[in-house]
Structure 1
């Protein structure tokens, strides 16, 4: 279990997070939602050990994440960041292979090659393996970086049994993973994330589209101004009142027979950049 317990992160007099807790269990997808500046990325960076909270702690299997070596932690959790700048024009294959660095010293072995080939196919980018990453569109680059973090976590034993449960829980942290992706690949990426949960992975994803949260998340944490507003099952959390409170937007929740989940539709006319709390 990956757990953030009563996290506060303060810079000067400003609290980016204020007493926020989140639990990610193996086998579930937890969404983090909220308006811009609500503290979503700060919470994800705290979960990943990128930043150290002012108060509170993050634990993995009931141990502080700071008690794990960097190499061990890299094999247990991977992060798809919001920004992924490159200093050199690596090929797609080279960049995805970098995800395997925690698994080998010197040169990649047969298992590393097999995992990279598998995730290239899984993310639909095998055909662009030799292309330079900077020449790709933003959406294509996002799929490459997804393949890289999957290569970081997966093992040859897992790909040999693609539907089997993993022996030790691992965690995939996704910071706005659908950014730059068209409609098809938004759902393709989240389908992959859901499939990972069926195998025993825990997934935490920052999502702006609340309809995607409704469709894919097992639980959602809704943040406002650095504090936890409400958490629980999406159908319980994403009420018109909570959405109005978090986003300043009036919505209707539409439920129809034949739909797998409710659908959220704005009901008010918006004026650009005029949102008020």
Structure 2
């Protein structure tokens, strides 16, 4: 693992996009004082910070106090944009069609026997009896995915943000490869958990594509973005950003996608880079 960055920072970054779990957050799910200070300093210097995560908006309390001016966070791997200044209100939704989700359920049941599912709606998550329970969501409905996805009247149900698929026996990367082969033409498949847990979004939906939409609204180009991540669900974002860093604890796919590496999440790898960017900016200003 590296303890220092090994790629140059951009000359004039306008936006920092960072994953949370395994990246900005330490393993105990807290944000260190050093990282809090670095995020505040970036905002003070006029660099927007976007949290870009697989988490749903209701699980963003770990960083809601550290979202500054714009208040926005990209959640559910790009399926939603939430306003954390308004209690996580969703201001943009990119859903997975229920018909597509149902077809994927049937396809994966046949291709990977033993799979179990959860359905993440804009209103909360629900899951099958065999699926690992969500202790943070005690009000979830437990039923077969076919029932969870059923609508009495088409178009009246809450939008589906993600379909999640879990397998107790397959290796995580093997499961992802099998699922993409079986149904990758229908939706976006990725993963961020150390277990065999897949996250399935609508076609073309990813952290990168939603970040690109948010940047376009602000007139920010990919070259002006610095991104951080550690898992396969960060790969597209790391490739899209003009400058990107895989964490010292990152998955090989994230390392291959990034233009550089930084320290681990436990060693404040995001803060290390932000501090360097700001120091270089101060030096450049002093030289003028």
Query: Structure 1-normalised TM-score?
Result: 0.31
Query: Structure 2-normalised TM-score?
Result: 0.30
Indicate the structure with greater strand content.
1
